Amino acid sequence: MVFLIVPMFALTYIQPTGFILLAASLFAVLFAIIVAISGKARNHEVFGVTAAYSAVLMVFVGNAVQIARSYSPP
């Protein structure tokens, strides 16, 4: 639950698109490391769970980027 709420709040307050993508990537890598260390998950399981988590983050990133562009001056 923490891995969904904390990135959403953090990505909400980051404005430049490059920093949004960097933060999302760092959250995904951190999530993969935590999953790999915390359980007995095999490599393909860690990959699958991380891919699903990254997909959820990318949906939020897409919305955050559109909102950031709508508020920025032309």
Scanning the structure block, which residue is given the tokens 């950031």?
68
For residues 60 and 40, the answer to whether their CB atoms sit within 8 Å is no
Has this prediction a pTM greater than 0.85? no
pLDDT recorded at residue 68: 67
Q: For residue 56, give both structure tokens.
A: 């959820």
Domain coordinates in residue numbering, the chain: 2-71
Q: Is the pLDDT of residue 72 over 70?
A: no
**What's the half-sphere exposure (Cβ side, CA atoms, 13 Å) at 35?**
20
- Residue 62 sits at φ, ψ, to 5 deg, of -60, -45
12-46, pLDDT tens digit by residue? 888 788 888 899 999 999 999 999 999 888 999 99
AA identity, residue 69: R
